[in-house]
Amino acid sequence: MKISILRVLFLGSSLFMLAACQNAPGDGEESARVQLKYNPSMLRPFPDDQGMTIRHSGPIDVEWYDEELEKAHRAFVAGGERSADKPDILLEAERHLRRALSQPIRFGVSGNRLWIEPRGAEVNYRDVVQAFAATGLFRTVQVSHLRYQ
């Protein structure tokens, strides 16, 4: 009697664990993610005077490394910037940027210029530009006089 109860408990816990493992996120979910192309060369500041303060508020001009990402940025802004309509490749790039920045961001276009605006009360633009440049997603990143290329 005691042995049969133990067998039932063991069998029940095994089935529960198998069911839990099948529902857990795994390799299938990660392979469905969009693959981004990264810039193989490191962006460097040009020119940068460490003593010069950046008096800037607003968007940061960017030039995407991945052409598909650039097209998705333009299409998203042209479509009215509804987050439900954001392309998968732009969502993946936003994940990378938010991870590097820890702040919400907004995408935009002014004429032929693509820009990203960090949102928040206190934004240190020198740190933001440096974080954007380190992601490997851009050819150039510029704010005020500071340009990473």
CA 127/CA 48 separation, integer angstroms: 13
Q: Which amino acid is at 111?
A: G
The tokens for 103 are 């702040």
Question: Cα–Cα distances in Å, from 98 out to 47, 67, 103, 110, 112?
Answer: 26, 20, 6, 22, 24
| Cβ-based neighbour number of residue 117 at 10 Å | 15
pLDDT in tens, the chain (149 residues): 666 777 766 666 676 666 666 655 555 555 567 888 888 888 888 766 666 666 667 788 999 999 999 999 998 888 776 767 788 999 999 998 988 888 888 888 888 889 988 887 777 888 888 888 888 999 999 887 788 88
- Are 73 and 86 contacting, i.e. CB atoms less than 8 angstroms apart? no
Q: How far apart, in whole angstroms, are the C-alpha atoms of residue 97 and residue 17?
A: 36
Is residue 109 within 8 Å of residue 91, measured between CB atoms? Answer: no
